[in-house]
Structure 1
Amino acid sequence: MAENSTHGIRADEPSDIGRRVLRLRTEKGLTQKQLAEPAYTAAYISTLEAGRVRPSETALRHLAGRLGTTVEELATGRPPHLATELRMRLTDARRTLATGDAEDAAALFRALRAEAAALSLVNEESTAVLGLGDCALESGDLTAARDLFADAETLLADQPLPRRVPALRGRAVAHLLAGELRYACYLLETALDELNASGMHDPDALLLLYTASIAPYMDMGAHARAAHAAELALALAPQVDDPALVAAMHRGVARSLIAEGRIADADASLAKAQELYQQLHIRTELAHCHWMRGYVHAQDGNLRKAESELRTARDMLASKRAVLFTVQVEVELADVLRRRGKAAEAAELLRPLLAPTALGAERGAVHAGGAHRLLGLISEDRGDTDAAEEHYCAALSLLERTGAAGDLADLCRLLGDLLRRTGRTEAALDAYRTGLGHRAAPGTTTLGPAPKAPPQWPVGRI
């Protein structure tokens, strides 16, 4: 079968389409001339019905209109209600993922993927695969998530870039969660450059990419780029109709505002996101808002509120069995507990997170490094310098693979201070020098040239 690239329809062979046109024309009592006019000739219809020419998309639309059917039914022989019903069930599966359990949603998406593939419905198949990728992200299976998003990109390979952006963004998020920050940035920046250079001003696609780039920029210490991406995302928001996309933008922008010290603005942005997610009943994203608000309160020194928000986020994510996100929140909750003088509770929360099935080099390296860092601080407070050094070194080993410049610099300072206090001056100086090297290399030194700015948008669009 050949594929109609515009609509994601795998059209039948010309002979099959020709026989279908002949049958429908005869049933309608039309002559070849009547079917052809005014855009085509009777000779063209004769050639088409004989299977000697493949009709273009424009011709299919003309014929479908004259014959009282759809382009899809004419090209494939499938009744149009099959695709419509499948799309409705895909929406139901997406709702299950948003409000219920990822495993339940994955079962629905798998069945829908098989059904769409059997019907050669490429768009619906890719939507099901994207859903499976999101389920894998939520359950913490990052390898499966990467593969699924790559499969979705392959299915949409001949579609315009804006159609492929959700799959590309999903793959970038999977790499980000695995601690591969540079590669996540590369994927997002390459897509942004291609979109902006081509003049394909698709607000939804651009907003998705700019919002997704904020987190890896922040983790790498490229705060200026994160702020710029947040500014562009905010400018795009009025052009986007999807409330879930706008809510995700507000959540991402809050991270940049925190880095600028604009705590009140960050909290206001998160409140907007939270309101939208509540209206949409999207529990995972709503939990992320509580997570970020907890982070905002912690940065502002309000540890009691931070603990409350983080506990809420953890409970919501745990109830959805969003394993990886749950343990990541627990790392930040442990930090707040330690700062509130609850070191024993923090340590009890952290130790299970260091098991390979929870966090590790391939599964949340940034947060695994954070867990070791916190256990090092707790060990220092207890006077166990050997354990503290072991945790700091483990954290450094994890984070060196990620490019998280700010976190690496902070760890080198902590390790240097520990080594200096225990009389190992030369080793301490080496740690400090390493930390200075990381601190000096955020932004352009780490990532290369920034993405090209979008073309000048029409006046009044922003």
Structure 2
Amino acid sequence: MAERSETVGERVYRLRTQRGMTQRQVAAPAYTAAYVSTVEAGKVRPSQKALHHLADRLGVDSRELLTGQPAHLATGLRLGLTGAQHTLATGDTAEAARAFAGLLAEAEEYELTEESAAAQLGLGECALESGDLAQAHTSFEAAERLLSEAAPARRAPAVRGRAVAHLLAGELRYSCYLLENALDELNNSGHHDPDALLLLYTAAIAPYLDMGAHARAAHAAEQALSLAPSATDSARVAAMHRSVARTLLAENRIPEADASLAKAAELYRGLRLRTELAHCHWMRGYVHAQSGGLEAAEREMRTAREMLTAKRATLYAEQVEVELADVVRRRGRTGEARELLRGVLATAGQERAAVHAGAAHRLLGLIAQEAGELEEAEEHYVSALSLLERAGAAGDLADVCRLLGDLLRRAGRPEAAMDAYRTGLGPRMTRGVTTLGPAPAAPPA
């Protein structure tokens, strides 16, 4: 294959010698051998007419002769990217990652920016599914760099990917910061792009809720719902319905949340997006658990775990197991719940899934406390507090601090209990990583 630094003249020389042709044969009948010699030496750049003549004589497309890119390369790469995305949605994540990596290498060889960025986005999504958050950060940041000169709407998927990776790593405030900045840039750019706005508002709901910023989450959900009729991407509309269900659950609007999840599931089935459909089963399990239907909740969550495990979506499967353990505990099978949670903590590193790891410690603390193992309960609550405080998950942090404070108060340690209560009332803010002041600018009417 041609080197990227190869000039047109060098390319003419290489192709001519590969075919065993003389300069006179390439030049005839419209040009002279001397002219071909000056082109090959780089002393003259061929005109468009001469370029077409030389390409025809050498048996290549004129674009290939000019740029070194084989004919229809970009089209073939785009078809390959579509195939890899389909594999990611319905098949093996590792296989999809190999396909994206091969496509990226080919796109980079010929300096195809758009296709390189799309391949990096695909690799980032594969990394999210497999739980490799470091690789996800690398790929999404590379995609954003490649698109640095593009319109804000083109960069939206890369920003959303970075934000999700930070969310899964427990860096909620930075996740919000990225999304808020991107939304403000997009809304103030004057280019109304419903699909990009829908993607970003939808992505903002989860970190807002985990931080306890329920009003901000509700605002993002309202904006997303208003954009949905104008959006053209069905997968993004489905993701919106799934995320909006979380805000409805937070407001205890159970029937509406279930209806929103049903809409999302219907769209995901039509699109054959198995990971996203698994998320719908997961959330419907949570809906059932909230309304006391523990048997149905366990059934939905086990379905979600099986689907995610089959897709090798390791990190998401671990998160489901935490909530499944809570359902199992509430059904009286504390031993099974404890084993599930210990399994999650054994595989989940401290650098990822801080919110769910914190939830696992909280549940283990409850189980230990119910069994009268108070020292073990305290250890788990303290571990949960550390993880949730670092993540900025204010709502969950307040709950753990209440549990720890109550435990310490009953143990006759009032000063330590007061410290725990104070921690829950005033979670520390990391400066400079999110505004959480005025809401992101609303899209133009």
Shorter-chain TM-score bucket reads 0.7 to 0.9
Residues 1:129 and 2:120 aligned together? yes
1:413/1:126 CA distance change after superposition, 3 Å? same
Letter in 2 for 1:125: S
Letter in 2 for 1:208: L
CA contact (8 A) 1:284 1:317 kept: yes
Residue 454 of structure 1 aligns to a residue whose secondary structure is coil
Residues 1:364 and 2:353 aligned together? yes
Residue 452 of structure 1 aligns to a residue whose secondary structure is coil
Shift of 1:266: 0.9
Q: Deviations over 1:285-337 (max 9, x none)?
A: 11011111111111222211111111100010011111111101000100111
5 Å matches for 1:79-98?
Answer: 79-98=70-89
1:232/1:75 CA distance change after superposition, 3 Å? farther
Match of 1:347 among 322, 327, 338: 338
Residue 268 of structure 2 aligns to a residue whose secondary structure is helix
1:175 corresponds in structure 2 to 166
Match of 2:371 among 372, 382, 393: 382
1:284 corresponds in structure 2 to 275
Distance 2:417 2:149 in 1: 55
1:204 corresponds in structure 2 to 195
1:159 corresponds in structure 2 to 150
1:419/1:167 CA distance change after superposition, 3 Å? same
Letter in 2 for 1:420: R
2:93 corresponds in structure 1 to 102
Q: Deviations over 1:88-109 (max 9, x none)?
A: 1111111111011111111111
2:442 corresponds in structure 1 to 454
Residue 164 of structure 2 aligns to a residue whose secondary structure is helix
Letter in 2 for 1:232: Q
Residue 72 of structure 2 aligns to a residue whose secondary structure is helix
Residues 1:239 and 2:239 aligned together? no
Gap runs ≥5 in structure 1: 1-9, 18-25, 30-49, 55-68, 458-462
Letter in 2 for 1:393: V
Count of aligned residue pairs for this structure pair:
403
Q: Deviations over 1:36-63 (max 9, x none)?
A: xxxxxxxxxxxxxx75999xxxxxxxxx
Letter in 2 for 1:150: E
1:34 corresponds in structure 2 to none
Letter in 2 for 1:426: E
Match of 1:140 among 109, 115, 131: 131
Shift of 1:456: 3.3
Residues 1:404 and 2:393 aligned together? yes
Residue 241 of structure 2 aligns to a residue whose secondary structure is helix
Residue 352 of structure 2 aligns to a residue whose secondary structure is coil
2:419 corresponds in structure 1 to 430
CA contact (8 A) 1:254 1:269 kept: yes
1:402/1:99 CA distance change after superposition, 3 Å? same
CA contact (8 A) 1:190 1:451 kept: no
Letter in 1 for 2:444: Q
Shift of 1:11: 12
Shift of 1:452: 3.3
2:23 corresponds in structure 1 to none
Distance 2:184 2:108 in 1: 32
Distance 2:63 2:418 in 1: 70
Shift of 1:344: 1.0
Distance 1:255 1:364 in 2: 18
Distance 1:70 1:153 in 2: 32
1:273 corresponds in structure 2 to 264
1:23 corresponds in structure 2 to none
Shift of 1:218: 0.4
Distance 2:386 2:435 in 1: 21
5 Å matches for 1:220-259?
Answer: 220-259=211-250
Letter in 2 for 1:254: A
Letter in 2 for 1:230: A
Distance 1:53 1:361 in 2: 61
Gap runs ≥5 in structure 2: 12-26, 31-43, 49-59
Shift of 1:361: 2.5
2:57 corresponds in structure 1 to none
Distance 1:454 1:16 in 2: 54
Distance 1:349 1:255 in 2: 24
Residue 400 of structure 1 aligns to a residue whose secondary structure is helix
CA contact (8 A) 2:68 2:110 kept: no
CA contact (8 A) 1:179 1:361 kept: no
> What RMSD over aligned residues (CA atoms) do the two structures have, in Å?
2.9
Letter in 2 for 1:340: R
Distance 2:257 2:137 in 1: 30
CA contact (8 A) 1:178 1:365 kept: yes
Q: Percent identity?
A: 65
Distance 1:72 1:268 in 2: 53
CA contact (8 A) 2:192 2:444 kept: no
Letter in 2 for 1:298: A
2:17 corresponds in structure 1 to none
Q: Deviations over 1:420-444 (max 9, x none)?
A: 1111122112212222224x99xxx
Residue 390 of structure 2 aligns to a residue whose secondary structure is coil
Residues 1:261 and 2:252 aligned together? yes
1:128/1:417 CA distance change after superposition, 3 Å? same
Residues 1:300 and 2:291 aligned together? yes
1:185/1:75 CA distance change after superposition, 3 Å? farther
Distance 1:120 1:259 in 2: 47
Distance 1:76 1:156 in 2: 21
